[in-house]
Amino acid sequence: MAVLTNKRIGFIGGGNMAEAMIKGLLSASFIEAKSLMASDMVGERLEFLKHEFKIKTTTDNQELVQKNDIIILAVKPQAVKAVCSGIHEQVDEKKLVISVAAGVPIHAIEILLNPEADKKVGVVRTMPNTPALVQAGVTALSASDHVSKSDLKVAHRIFEAIGRTVDVPEAQLDAVTGLSGSGPAYIFMIIEALSDAGVKMGLSRDVSNALTLQTVLGSAKLAQESGRHPGELKDMVCSPGGTTISGLHWLEKGGLRTTLINAVEAATQRSIELGRNAENNQNGNDSQ
């Protein structure tokens, strides 16, 4: 039975993240396709979502808000202002608004949705990630004061359909974005490089890919299930004078750890910047 009974969920923006969430929600049987809707200005995206998932679609964001109880803002941060300004009259206190947009603060969304400050609009800001497509995502959530405990529970249920959830104070959501929001791209780059390395050493691409993927998956599973410190698990692989320590020496020389820390720091800073731009309505170089 669908977990989110009697709830209609509408996605504004039918891109990658909306697709990942729709697929996860349906695969987990948390909700029926007839209770899902997406709006987008790109007709091809709507056709794809309609065909692939049998959900309802519209090009009209106001219609989407009117017809749904939970509104998920799944547009780029740069589009949040225009979208919210276009739907604020349709958003009332009964709607729960959930944003997945990187960087955009809750209070900025609240002001856009409630310019007269005459209603209590509940906003949950979240940061999911694309492994949601295979229900292995992780989402951090932070809610405004206007969100009831039961609505926050509903938000958790939605993201539990696509993986794990954690609550964080809003101030930490930019760091979450730099780590787990962007993180899949870092890991895919590592996977691609390891697979190339195997090919360089003479393995076929298929074998190299299979070995790489299972090594990454298995290592994450071992770290998660054992609860042991990654340094300890690393030491278990390193025989004295053996192969692994020779490989690790090169990773240290290449600054792997510093590089990853710098990457998370840069992505976090960018999330903060996107939020600032969204608030000031400056697009700057944000042409994404």
Ligand X SMILES: NC(=O)C1=CN([C@@H]2O[C@H](COP(=O)(O)OP(=O)(O)OC[C@H]3O[C@@H](n4cnc5c(N)ncnc54)[C@H](O)[C@@H]3O)[C@@H](O)[C@H]2O)C=CC1
Ligand Y SMILES: O=C(O)[C@@H]1CCC=N1
Query: Which residues does the annotation place in the binding site?
Result: 12-17, 61, 74-77
CA distance 264 to 176: 9
How many CB atoms sit inside 10 A of residue 113's CB?
A: 25
Among 68, 114, 129, 268, binds ligand X (CB under 6 A): 129
Which residue type, as a one-letter code, is found at position 133?
L
Per CB under 6 A, 276 contacts ligand X = no
Q: Is 100 helix (H, G, I), strand (E, B) or coil?
A: coil
β-strands 9-12, 36-39 pairing: parallel
Among 34, 43, 82, 214, binds ligand X (CB under 6 A): 82
Among 31, 102, 161, 179, binds ligand Y (CB under 6 A): 102
Chain residue whose CB lies nearest ligand X: 15
Q: What is the enclosing helix (H) or strand (E) of 70?
A: strand 70-73
Part in contact with ligand Y (CB under 6 A); list of ranges 25-33, 159-167, 176-184, 233-241 = 176-184
Among 163, 181, 183, 275, binds ligand X (CB under 6 A): 181
Question: What is the torsional sign of CA 42, 48, 54, 55?
Answer: negative
Among 114, 177, 195, 208, binds ligand Y (CB under 6 A): 177
Per CB under 6 A, 180 contacts ligand Y = no
- Which of 26, 127 has the CB closer to ligand Y? 127
Q: Write down the residue that tokens 């992780």 correspond to.
A: 138
Contact 159, 141 (CB under 8 A): yes
Contact 103, 275 (CB under 8 A): yes
* Binding-site ranges for ligand Y (CB under 6 A): 102, 177, 181-182
* Binding-site ranges for ligand X (CB under 6 A): 12-18, 39-42, 45, 61, 74-77, 79, 82-83, 100-102, 127-130, 181
